[in-house]
């Protein structure tokens, strides 16, 4: 007789400047789709998605803040009780990286002490050339280097990925990386 693996529920919030691709990353992870000129989400979107990592099953309860994080006083409502956060910036938009740094620091000051945070530089597809390699010419759209992202993540002791919601590059890896990092004490067994 075999028993199903216990499911760990994980509340996960997305934070980051408008239009960096938060909803698109969720859409890619949950339904493996991409919408080119996505209408912005109004209000907060809530989605769940199970993810099997080795012998663990994680049920992500994903809160996409849909721009409401702009209202500083509302933000703690979203990340209170969150076990995981994805802080997204757009690698072609330096201002979005500055904003991401702000969110990471705020999470460390105000969120749960054992929250798992992933810093995600999205829109990697925009810096690739026709042969799929990174365009390192002066015409490259990249405005935030991998080193800047990695250094911030190292300073803050958090995970770091560059992704493309558009072509799916590294998107599952973000959720798997978070799942691997969630402390065992967060486990519960509601399926």
Q: What is the chain's Cα-based Rg?
A: 16
CB 54 to ligand GDP: min, Å: 27
Q: Could you give the count of Cα atoms lying within 13 Å of 23 in the half-sphere of its Cβ?
A: 18
| Residue of 86, 123, 82, 115 whose CA lies nearest to 103 | 86
Minimum distance between the CB of residue 100 and ligand GDP, rounded to whole angstroms? 11
Show the binding pattern over residues 106-135: x = contacts ligand GDP (CB under 6 A), - = does not.
----------------xx-xx---------
| Gap between the terminal Cα atoms of the chain | 19
**Sheet containing strand 56-64, strands side by side:** 45-53, 56-64, 7-16, 84-90, 116-122, 159-162
Residue 160 phi, psi (nearest 5): -140, 135
Binding flags for ligand GDP, 1-40, as an x/- string (CB under 6 A): ---------------x-xxxxxxx----------xxxx-x
- Which is nearer to ligand GDP, 11 or 123 (by Cβ)? 123
Could you give the count of Cα atoms lying within 13 Å of 172 in the half-sphere of its Cβ?
9
- Our CB check for ligand GDP shows the closer of 56 and 101 to be 101
Cβ nearer to ligand GDP, comparing 40 with 54:
40
Residue of closest CB approach to ligand GDP: 21
CB of 87 vs ligand GDP, minimal distance in Å? 11
Output 21 or 179, the one with its CB closest to ligand GDP.
Answer: 21
Interactions with ligand GDP, residue window 150-179 (CB under 6 A) = 164-166
Minimal distance, residue 57 CB to ligand GDP, in Å: 27
Q: Is 25 exposed, middle or buried (0-12, 13-18, 19+ CB in 10 A)?
A: buried
**What is the C-alpha to C-alpha distance for residues 90 and 21, in angstroms, rounded to an integer?**
8
**Tokens (6 digits) for 81:** 């009780």
Interface residue list for ligand GDP (CB under 6 A): 16, 18-24, 35-38, 40, 122-123, 125-126, 164-166
């Amino acid at each position: 007789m075999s028993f199903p693996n216990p499911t760990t529920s994980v509340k996960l919030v997305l934070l980051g400047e408008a239009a960096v691709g938060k909803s698109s990353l969720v859409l890619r992870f949950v339904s493996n789709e991409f919408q080119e000129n996505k209408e912005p989400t109004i209000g907060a979107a809530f989605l769940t998605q199970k993810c099997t990592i080795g012998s663990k099953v994680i049920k992500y309860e994903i809160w996409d803040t849909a721009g409401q994080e702009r209202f500083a006083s509302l933000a703690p409502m979203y990340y209170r009780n969150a076990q995981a956060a994805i802080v997204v910036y757009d690698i072609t938009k330096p201002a979005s990286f500055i904003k991401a740094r702000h969110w990471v620091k705020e999470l460390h000051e105000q969120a749960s002490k054992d929250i798992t945070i992933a810093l995600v530089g999205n829109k990697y597809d925009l810096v690739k050339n026709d042969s799929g390699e990174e365009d390192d010419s002066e015409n490259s759209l990249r405005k935030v280097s991998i080193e800047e992202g990695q250094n911030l993540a190292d300073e803050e002791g958090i995970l770091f990925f560059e992704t493309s919601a558009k072509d799916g590059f590294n998107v599952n890896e973000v959720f798997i990386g978070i799942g691997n990092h969630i402390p065992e004490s967060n486990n519960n067994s509601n399926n």
